[in-house]
Structure 1
Amino acid sequence: MNYAKIRKFDVSNGPGIRATLFVSGCTNGCNGCFNKELQDFNYGNKWTKEVEDEFVNQVKNSNIVGVNILGGEPMDQIKDESLLKLLKRIKEETQKSIWLWSGYIYEDIITCDKKSQILSYVDVLIDGRFEEDKRNISLKYRGSSNQRIIDIVKSNENNRVIEIEI
């Protein structure tokens, strides 16, 4: 897996102060994508054990309330297990919330074993492709009105999509 950038103290993606990872690589190709360069799977830096250790240590900082995973496309990170291992480690070592943004919708993610494994460590999923004709800059944590903010824990408990109203 490659990554484009890490924000150690991010206050723009998700509530509170969060650590954010932008992964490289996306096959969605949304018109109007604001991270077009991140569509290339070779963009940025190689994810290594050292980078992972540093990121997890950052997440352990008492000022950090959670983690954001954006891209590129996190759900396209299934060629290896780097992202899956990272999310598992974050949950085991910090128990902090994980928010993940994906152009794939929840209903499609749960039909793919590898993507579903990634989702199993996520607390909140912002799903759906960015749709330029539905762009709305007044929305919190998403770019277009078709995208949903889904409480994965409650959705799993209720066996249906439970959206978070923000």
Structure 2
Amino acid sequence: MNPRIRIAGVVKESIVDGPGIRFVVFAQGCPHHCEGCHNPDTHDLSGGHLVRIDTIIDEMKKNPLLDGITLSGGEPFLQSAGFSELARCAQAASYHVMTYTGYTYETLTAKNDQEWQQLLKYTDLLVDGRFEAEQKSLLLKFRGSQNQRIIDVNQSRLKNKLILSKMN
């Protein structure tokens, strides 16, 4: 089975969406509608287009310089089954996975949703929290507002408590 996900688009090489050179996938659909959102075209749940996960992985493999994949939005957790499979396949191909979400880490871990937990399981770094225009800062690394955190998901799981990445 090769699931498909609804995406707004991709950026094949980025140095601003996570550490190293990233392949960025923008999920289509977002419930947060943050004021000042950087990607308002991703909000419509029926926008964008469907793409097969193996198509994305195959495209990534064409570029030997890539360090990882970034799952951005929209909101990847709205399509958590498909995005967790994409993240799993990316990790299996030795790519680092970074996921952006408007939800907080606490909300994600408290929700008894197996698909959300699967996406977290295959995420190395998580940028959590809604974009808040009044806390916007162009000086922050890999995030737009000061309330957002970069979380080391692997260390957080290992230590059973929230561990911020050294990039904060």
The CA RMSD over aligned residues, in Å, is 1.3
Q: CA deviation at 1:95?
A: 2.2
Cα pair 2:126 2:151 within 8 Å, conserved: yes
Name the CA distance, whole Å, in 2 between partners of 1:62 and 1:35.
28
Out of 7, 11, 15, the position equivalent to 2:19 is 15
1:9 and 1:119 map into 2 onto residues whose CA distance is: 23
Report how many residues are paired: 160
Q: Partner of 1:149: helix, strand, or coil?
A: strand
Percent identity between matched residues is 34
User: What is the alpha-carbon distance in structure 1 between the residues aligned to residue 41 and residue 128 of structure 2?
Assistant: 20
Distance 1:16 1:89 in 2: 19
Q: CA deviation at 1:13?
A: 0.8
The gaps in structure 2 that reach 5 residues or longer are: none
Q: Which runs of 4+ in 1 moved over 4 A?
A: none
User: What residue ranges of structure 1 are gaps of 5+ in the alignment?
Assistant: none
Q: Structure 2: how far apart are the matches of 1:11 and 1:98?
A: 14
**8 Å contact from structure 1 (residues 19, 58) kept in 2:** no
Q: Which amino acid aligns with 1:57?
A: D
Kept in 1: contact 2:127–2:148 (CA 8 A)? yes
What is residue 109 of structure 1 aligned with on the other side? Answer: 108
Where does 1:1-166 land on structure 2 (aligned, <5 Å)? 1-47=5-51, 49=52, 52-60=53-61, 61-78=63-80, 81-92=81-92, 94-112=93-111, 113=113, 114-166=115-167
